[in-house]
Structure 1
């Protein structure tokens, strides 16, 4: 336990939310210099170009905190620099639900990883991402790629039958907060949901849970797959050529996790031979998606620029989560959403 905590706001945040944090937890000494950061907006990942003098000011600013709200400049390199410059830093709260990837990118030593606790905003994004997952599943079920292609040709297409929600089986891969909310939403509409997870968990609406090692078997029986996975060594290219080779023809693919979980070359090939009929991607392996990626030109693919989690209420919910964790830290309680610094999720 400790009496007070000096918090530096290291990422854009509206003044009224800073005031809310101070009001809800009076033991916080909050430092906020918005002129050193981009204007607060829905996009947390915007960076500010600074001249050398302003950059030096920003670094002194973030180096003065015992806790950071946000990773400096959303950069692993900047995070490592401030951890090494500030021995008093105790806690860093990352803005993304998958903030473990930022911690991993910092390439910290084990001593540094043990000295600072890292938390994420997991849970805040579950509802908007589950809605985007539903959109992607319905896009495949109701043949959005075929309709868009026919419309672009000004063609009144053949009146082919469409799938029905109550006859659709979906695999949700990754049953964290986002995956569980997605499973509940899909099942609530009448779909059959199979969970794919590395261990048994309680998940509303899931008919059964299969181990990750059986992903290929699961893809052979489902109509759609939703990936809601973090970026770790174990999840890298989990949806790759081997798994897709076993997929039921016309599989719908939706990714609301991290782009590295899909082998994009294998996905393009599977679209080409009909094993995948629709792909809705909020994330890609490289972001922004390079202009020469074949994904841009495939009518079967819908690409969102990593925006599916953004909602007007996101900043407040993240600020409220931070305040709750700050209270827990001050009271000596266990923090929520602590990053696993071995697997970085």
Structure 2
């Protein structure tokens, strides 16, 4: 999987929509590598970083054959075929690919859904775009925290009703508030950086407990109830795995300081949504800003849609106009490592799928 290869026999295929300028940057940085890019075989982007492209796009039978011939002949893929787990499963079974760059930070979910046999999981390295989305996710998390502290949901409701309250209600300060971040990885640490810039006190969880500069206290998951007891804001950045499923549950909500704010920019499965609704109704949670949900799209019947103290975001917090450039730059860095037989950055764990 990580054998040293000469630049003359390495072929990269672009499997997903990508602006020509970024394809050219990959080519220019690696002039001795063959980069296969046929835009007519790829669905057009509907917006920046639309990796799946227009769902109405179809290929002719001849184009479909060309697309798969291109991918099967590649050593490295930029994106999953058709940006889907089924495409990943097909190329793993029939191609010679050794490494695939996933577009998503949570690329492990697609790897798991592809249900690859152990030999393919061992043979093919899949790298995620984790870290590329750190800043937009951190900014979104801060927006959610400030929304809760500054009561923007209530203001919006008053504005919609053209209601000017008879009594002015104070808001809470960000400076001096206590923030707990579940998952002090790249996203969590970027979130912590922005939180500290606002004067917040930051603690959090990490699988391997170790001191981190600027973080007041670091615990493992077992220490989370103690952290949230004094937290004004709980921000989740954790991926969805069997170990994190419903990790933020009734026990955690009951351990919280009453009136705490919840922000979720990790995965929806980490939060027990039924327990969250109960916590919102009993006042343990005063506001929830949610970009991710256990089932997506969020079902119409979900009470989260209409809850007056919930912001529903359609899993868009990581998106930015810079995303394609940033992923391409990450890919180029990893491509240099791959050629040298070095360790790739952000390899998806084939056991835990994150």
Aligned counterpart, 2:214: 205
Runs of 4 or more above 6 Å deviation: none
The separation in 2 between residues aligned to 1:163 and 1:81, in whole angstroms, is 53
Q: Indicate whether 1:68 and 2:71 are aligned.
A: no
Q: Distance in 2 between matches of 1:254 and 1:16?
A: 36
Corresponding residue of 2:157: 149
Choose 47-56 or 67-76, whichever is displaced more.
47-56
Shift of 1:217: 2.4
CA distance in 2, matches of 1:17, 1:280: 33
Deviations 1:82-129 (A, max 9, x none): 10011x210011011111111111111111100001111111111111
> What SS does structure 1 have at the residue aligned with 2:217?
strand
Cα deviation, 1:19-40, whole Å, max 9, x if unaligned, reads 1100011232111122222213
Q: Is the 8 A contact 2:204 2:227 kept in 1?
A: no
Out of 271, 276, 291, the residue aligned to residue 282 of structure 1 is 291
**Distance of 1:304 and 1:92 partners within structure 2:** 29
Contact 2:211 2:218 in 1 (8 A): no
CA distance in 1, matches of 2:335, 2:264: 32
The alignment's TM-score, normalised by the length of structure 1, stands at 0.95
**Contact (CA 8 Å) 1:220, 1:246: kept in 2 or not?**
yes
Q: Is the 8 A contact 2:211 2:217 kept in 1?
A: no
1:2 partnered with 2:2:
no
Matches of 2:266 and 2:132 in 1, distance apart?
14
DSSP 3-state at the match of 2:26: helix
Matched with 2:270 is: 261
1:50: Cα distance to partner? 2.5
Relative to structure 2, which stretch is displaced further, 200-209 or 50-59? Answer: 50-59
- CA shift, 1:9, in A, is 0.5
Distance 2:330 2:127 in 1: 10
CA RMSD of aligned residues (A): 1.6
Work out the CA distance in 2 between the residues paired with 1:35 and 1:203: 48
Deviation of residue 51 (structure 1)?
A: 5.4
What TM-score does the superposition give when structure 2 sets the normalisation length?
A: 0.93
**Structure 1's 204 and 44: CA in aligned 2 closer, same or farther, altered over 3 A?**
farther
The unaligned stretches of length 5 or more in structure 2 are none
- 5+ residue gaps, structure 1, are none
Matches of 1:129 and 1:112, distance apart in 2:
32
Tell me what 2:345 maps to. 336
Distance 2:159 2:212 in 1: 39
Q: Is the 8 A contact 1:295 1:301 kept in 2?
A: yes
1:184/1:206 contact within 8 Å kept? no
Change (3 A) 1:172 1:115: same
C-alpha distance after superposition, 1:147-179 (max 9, x if no partner)? 222222222223122111223101010011000
Q: Given that residues 44 and 54 in structure 2 are in contact (C-alpha distance below 8 angstroms), is that contact kept between their aligned partners in structure 1? A: no
Confirm or deny that 1:93 pairs with 2:101.
yes
Q: Partner of 1:118 in structure 2?
A: 126
Following superposition, the deviation at residue 210 of structure 1 comes to: 1.7
Residue 137 of structure 2: aligned partner: 129
> Residues of 2 paired with 1:313 and 1:150: CA distance?
35
Deviation at 1:248, TM superposition (A): 1.5
